[in-house]
Amino acid sequence: MGETIDAKAFRALSYGLYIVTSACGEKTNGQVANSVIQVTSDPPQIAVCINRENLTHACILESGVFAVSVLEQDTPLPFIGQFGFKSGRDIDKLSGVGCLAEGRDCPLVTDHAVAVMAAKVVNQLAMRTHTLFVGEVTYAKVLNKETPLTYAAYHEIKRGKTPKKAPTYQA
């Protein structure tokens, strides 16, 4: 980055840490994401930013749906790593993971989750490396009263790393 852009300034932005899932036919996949926001309350809509190279991106494009699980602050690093540093093209990331399906179009990860929500894509914005998907929420549920994991805590307390495909990656 140039002299006028201090990349460390972006670390001051507040984020959470989430598992975003979707489905492609019979295949399901999920990934860690830190770029999830609520964009409207009536109707309730959320947006996720997903790298175009990720399998989750292909699944959202194909199915038109995605789900978000808000992670607890005490989520173990190996659990985060399963969704953040491995490819769904090589492994079944949801194998052995607690999920809420109940007629949903894609799984909602319940292990280590404070809340879950499902959404149907209503808009999308393509960028160079990522797509911002906006979805109207079709289901939402609070699972417990634990403290949500922030991206700052992930870095500072857990000493977590950022994958190269994340929108907030810094070399």
**Tens digits of residue pLDDT in 122-167:** 999 999 999 999 999 999 999 999 999 987 777 676 555 554 454 4
Can you tell me the mean pLDDT for 105-116?
A: 94
Can you tell me the mean pLDDT for 76-105?
A: 81
Q: Decide if domain 15-156 falls under CATH 2.30.110.10.
A: yes
pLDDT of 118 strictly over 80: yes
Q: What is the CA radius of gyration of the chain?
A: 15
Phi/psi at 81 (5° precision): -60, -35
Residues 137-155 as b/e (b if ≥16 CB within 10 A, e otherwise) read beeeeebeebebbbbeebe
Using CB atoms within 10 A of its CB, is residue 119 exposed (0-12), middle (13-18) or buried (19+)?
Answer: buried
Phi/psi at 156 (5° precision): -80, -45
